[in-house]
Amino acid sequence: MRRRLKEKMKLFYRERGFTLMEVLVAIAILGAFGAALLTALHTNAQATRTLDEKVQAANLAAAYLEEVRETPYAHSYPTVGSTIPKPPGYTVTVEVKCSIDGTTFRQCQGTEDETFQKINVVVLKEGRPVLNLCTYRSKR
């Protein structure tokens, strides 16, 4: 039995392990792949957050514009959006500018000859602009 053990040991005697340099190179390669993977995951998470903010902002702006469309023509729309629930951190402003001829827009004066409106819906998240949507309306 001892003889067999000695023969088996001779087989492993000539086997060499990895050198320290080979191990360090392998660790460096694995570290580089790990860093690249973490960078890709971070970029993906950031893009997902940005896309989610933009979709949320687009839905809010569309709801506000739909409510403006359903409201009779006026020189301002202070009640628009009062019934629309806003997610935490989001604020929405509706800016209305009027025009007589449809080319030059200024603050609405409330005169009858102002027949065109430029309605701008701005969606902010925590003070940062996320979406700015503009549409036009005419008095019929």
- Domain ranges within the chain, ordered by starting residue: 2-138
Burial of 57 from C-beta contacts in 10 A (0-12 / 13-18 / 19+): buried
- Provide the 10 A C-beta neighbour count for residue 13: 8
- Centroid of chain to Cα 73: 33
Strand partners, 132: 122
Retrieve residue 49's tokens: 């957050």
Is pLDDT of 15 > 70? no
C-alpha to C-alpha distance for 134 and 120, rounded to whole angstroms: 4
Q: Could you report the per-residue pLDDT of 97-115, keeping only the tens digit for each? A: 999 988 899 998 888 888 8
Sorted by sequence, the CB contacts under 8 Å of residue 69 that are 6+ apart come out as: 137
Closest CA to 87 of 58, 113, 116, 110: 58
Angle at the Cα of 70 (from 97 to 59), degrees rounded to 5? Answer: 80
Sorted by sequence, the CB contacts under 8 Å of residue 28 that are 6+ apart come out as: none
Q: What is the mean pLDDT of the chain?
A: 89
Q: Could you report the per-residue pLDDT of 19-40, keeping only the tens digit for each? A: 889 899 999 999 999 999 999 9
Task: Give the confidence band of 1 by pLDDT, cuts at 50, 70, 90.
Answer: low
